[in-house]
């Protein structure tokens, strides 16, 4: 495409533009497909900001979709074949960046959607990364520690030619953690010539602190949520120190968000995870709950709260409802039950388009995922910078810098909302796309 087209944007508001892009790319839209849902939402925002047509086409598909199969020796002596993915969506703003997930439901279109969201997220918080995502189809709860290590090492070796510390940098996501990043980094180092190994730490972020991880990375997504809340909630009439909230998920993101909010005076009323739902109107102690979860694997059976049904959980009255687990959990049926003023998306894409419509129609404000949960990748960026410079920051320095990125991102979303007269989710994509569009306008498209 000629450079001249890069600066001549087509008229805004061409009706059904996402459908036209789908048609052009021969994507047969499946309304239940997360990738299709995500691309559609991004294209609606692209239309609002007047993103050039060729840029929309570029963003509607990932650059690279890598799929690997690799055998792993299991503890009982047999070999299982595992399926892994790495999707590299866009690197116009910097190296591909995004987590690696271990989950039985991992499949290509899911990873593609999550990679798109990483491109949007990194652009929104103005860090010099593009978007990627990876995963291995497995249930980490069914694997022994040794099996988990062997899966990780084989997966790393299977994709090692496709990633790099300045090219594509994985991180933890659902089902993975700092230990897995340590095995991943070690395997990558072993596969690198010895005289180049000094610089391989940056191949992943979210490493243990003793192995080049950043202080504050563990709590970063939760901390970023809190920073966004401080910027957004008072304007919505909610005081953090008096607010009540409920959580879906009590893993890294839910656990930290819960603890940090309660430290500020908020009251955690209900939690749901794969082991059950619990409720306490007097407030749940998140530290005691975190101990219980680390001993038993879930919130079910926590004796300082009453067990409730899933249906009851959604109806617990709170100021802020926070899904911090998997995608597509807030369906229209569940959205009808939610009894909150604000839904803050700590998980990636937790709300289906139908759920979104119900919440909007009921006047429940949605704080979108690419803003709310961007703290994790922001501190990943800090980790990468620290590894590169071999100079390490204090926890205060990390917190201070994270706060700047999160507050400015929240303000960008608020401005975009007014400028484009749209909902908060569309505004978050608009704010992200404005930057990507400017960069593509300047770079043009090779040749």
The residues near 186 (Cβ < 8 Å, ≥ 6 apart) are: none
Q: Which of 52, 174 has the CB closer to ligand GLU?
A: 174
Q: Which of 369, 430 has the CB closer to ligand GLU?
A: 369
Binding flag, residue 327, ligand GLU (CB under 6 A): no
Residues 221-280 that bind ligand GLU (CB under 6 A): none
Residue 158 and residue 349: Cα distance in Å, rounded?
28
Q: Measured from the CB of residue 41, what is the shortest distance to ligand GLU in angstroms?
A: 17
Size of the site for ligand GLU (CB under 6 A): 12
Q: What's the token pair of residue 34?
A: 């997360």
Specify whether the CB–CB gap between 409 and 126 falls below 8 A: yes
The single residue among 18, 99, 140, 258 that binds ligand GLU, judged by CB under 6 A, is: 99
Q: Measured from the CB of residue 289, what is the shortest distance to ligand GLU in angstroms?
A: 23
Q: Which of 113, 151 has the CB closer to ligand GLU?
A: 113
Q: Which of 284, 324 has the CB closer to ligand GLU?
A: 324
Indicate left, alpha or beta for 237 from its phi (over 0: left) and psi (-120 to 50: alpha). Answer: left
Q: Measured from the CB of residue 60, what is the shortest distance to ligand GLU in angstroms?
A: 20
Binding flag, residue 205, ligand GLU (CB under 6 A): yes
The single residue among 152, 246, 373, 426 that binds ligand GLU, judged by CB under 6 A, is: 373
The single residue among 377, 430, 431, 436 that binds ligand GLU, judged by CB under 6 A, is: 377
Residues forming a β-bridge with 323: 248
Binding flag, residue 376, ligand GLU (CB under 6 A): yes
- From residue 68, how far is each of 123, 138, 157, 193, 355 by CA, in Å? 28, 14, 10, 23, 34
Specify whether the CB–CB gap between 119 and 353 falls below 8 A: no
Choosing from 97, 112, 121, 133, which is the catalytic residue?
133
Burial class (CB within 10 angstroms; exposed 0-12, middle 13-18, buried 19+) of 16: exposed
Q: Measured from the CB of residue 361, what is the shortest distance to ligand GLU in angstroms?
A: 28
The single residue among 36, 53, 89, 97 that binds ligand GLU, judged by CB under 6 A, is: 97
Specify whether the CB–CB gap between 276 and 300 falls below 8 A: yes
Can 29 be counted among the known catalytic residues?
Answer: no
Binding flag, residue 98, ligand GLU (CB under 6 A): yes
Binding flag, residue 380, ligand GLU (CB under 6 A): yes
Q: Measured from the CB of residue 275, what is the shortest distance to ligand GLU in angstroms?
A: 23
Question: CA dihedral in degrees (338, 340, 344, 349; nearest 10)?
Answer: 20
Q: Which of 99, 368 has the CB closer to ligand GLU?
A: 99
Residue 221 and residue 206: Cα distance in Å, rounded?
11
Q: Measured from the CB of residue 294, what is the shortest distance to ligand GLU in angstroms?
A: 21
3-state secondary structure of 440: helix
Instruction: Name the segment binding ligand GLU (CB under 6 A); options: 45-53, 254-262, 371-379, 429-437.
Output: 371-379
Burial 177-213, CB ≥16 within 10 A → b, else e: bbbbbbbbbbbbbeebeeeeeeebbbbbbbbeeeebb
Q: What's the token pair of residue 13?
A: 């508001």
User: Taking CB under 6 A as the rule, which mask of x and - marks residues 162-191 in contact with ligand GLU?
Assistant: ---------x-x------------------
- H/E element, 272: strand 267-273
Q: Which of 373, 403 has the CB closer to ligand GLU?
A: 373
Q: Measured from the CB of residue 35, what is the shortest distance to ligand GLU in angstroms?
A: 15
Output Rg (C-alpha) for the chain, integer angstroms. Answer: 21
Active site residues per annotation:
133
Binding site for ligand GLU (CB under 6 A): 97-99, 171, 173, 205-206, 348, 373, 376-377, 380
């Amino acid at each position: 495409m000629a450079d001249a087209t890069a600066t001549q944007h087509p008229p805004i508001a061409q009706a059904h533009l996402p459908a036209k892009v789908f048609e052009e790319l021969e994507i047969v839209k499946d309304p239940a497909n997360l990738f299709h849902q995500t691309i559609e939402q991004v294209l609606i925002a692209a239309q609002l900001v007047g993103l050039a047509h060729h840029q929309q086409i570029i963003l509607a598909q990932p650059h690279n979709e890598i799929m690997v199969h690799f055998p792993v020796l299991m503890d009982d002596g047999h070999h299982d074949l595992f399926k892994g993915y790495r999707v590299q969506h866009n690197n116009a703003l910097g190296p591909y960046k995004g987590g690696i997930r271990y989950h039985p439901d991992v499949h290509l279109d899911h990873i593609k959607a999550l990679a798109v969201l990483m491109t949007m997220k990194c652009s929104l918080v103005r860090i010099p990364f593009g978007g990627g995502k990876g995963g291995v189809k497995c249930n980490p709860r069914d694997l022994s520690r040794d099996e988990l290590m062997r899966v990780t090492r084989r997966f790393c070796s299977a994709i090692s030619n496709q990633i790099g510390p300045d090219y594509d940098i994985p991180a933890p996501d659902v089902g993975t953690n700092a230990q897995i990043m340590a095995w991943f980094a070690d395997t990558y180092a072993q596969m690198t010539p010895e005289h180049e190994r000094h610089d391989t730490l940056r191949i992943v972020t979210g490493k243990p602190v003793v192995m080049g991880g950043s202080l504050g990375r563990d709590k970063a997504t939760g901390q970023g949520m809190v920073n966004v809340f401080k910027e957004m909630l008072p304007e919505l009439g909610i005081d953090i120190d008096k607010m009540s909230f409920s959580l879906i998920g009590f893993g890294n993101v839910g656990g930290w968000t819960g603890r940090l909010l309660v430290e500020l005076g908020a009251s955690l009323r209900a939690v749901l995870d794969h082991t059950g739902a619990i409720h306490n109107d007097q407030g749940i102690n998140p530290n005691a709950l975190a101990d219980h979860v680390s001993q038993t694997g879930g919130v079910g059976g926590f004796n300082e709260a009453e067990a409730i049904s899933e249906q009851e959980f959604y109806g617990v009255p709170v100021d802020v409802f926070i899904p911090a687990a998997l995608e597509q959990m807030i369906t229209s049926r569940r959205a009808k039950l939610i009894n909150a003023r604000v839904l803050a998306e700590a998980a990636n894409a937790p709300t289906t388009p139908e759920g979104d419509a119900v919440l909007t129609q009921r006047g429940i404000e949605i704080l979108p995922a690419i803003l709310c949960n961007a703290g994790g990748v922001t501190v990943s960026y800090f980790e990468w910078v620290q590894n590169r410079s071999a100079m390490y920051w204090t926890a205060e320095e990390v917190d201070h810098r994270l706060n700047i990125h999160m507050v400015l991102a929240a303000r960008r979303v608020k401005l975009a909302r007014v400028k484009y007269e749209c909902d908060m989710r569309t505004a978050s994509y608009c704010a992200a796309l404005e930057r990507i569009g400017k960069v593509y306008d300047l770079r043009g498209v090779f040749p």
